[in-house]
Amino acid sequence: MTLSDSALTNTGLPLEAKTGRILLIACGALAREIIDLKAANGWTHLDLTCLPAKYHLYPEKITAAVRDAVARHRDSYETVFVVYADCGTGGLLQAACAELGVEMIAGPHCYSFFEGNDAFATKAEDEFTSFYLTDFLVRQFDAFIIKPMGLDRHPELRDMYFGNYEKLIYQAQTNDPELTEKAKGCAARLNLKFERHFTGYGDLKTALSVL
Say yes or no to pLDDT of 8 above 80. Answer: no
Domain range enclosing 72: 22-105
Domain boundary among 105, 123, 141: 105
Contact between 69 and 51 (Cβ < 8 Å): yes
Q: Is the pTM here over 0.85, yes or no?
A: yes
Q: Does 119 lie in the same domain as 82?
A: no
pLDDT digits over 156-184, tens only?
999 999 999 999 999 999 999 999 999 99
- Give the residue from 105, 126, 159 where a domain finishes: 105
Of the three residues 105, 128, 158, the one that is the final residue of a domain is 105
**In the prediction, which pLDDT does 26 show?**
98
Whether the predicted pLDDT of 6 surpasses 70: no
Q: Would you place residue 18 in the very low, low, confident or very high pLDDT band (cuts 50, 70, 90)? A: low
DSSP string, 71-97: HHHGGG-SEEEEE---TTSTTHHHHHH
Same domain as 125, residue 46? no
Task: Please count the structural domains in the chain.
Answer: 2
Q: Read off the pLDDT of residues 53-84 as tens digits, 9 standing for 90 and up.
A: 999 899 999 999 999 999 999 999 999 999 99
118: pLDDT strictly greater than 90: yes
Question: What is the per-residue pLDDT across 124-166, written as a single tens digit (0 to 9) for each?
Answer: 888 999 999 999 999 999 999 999 999 999 999 999 999 999 9
Whole-number Å distance between alpha carbons of 60 and 93: 10
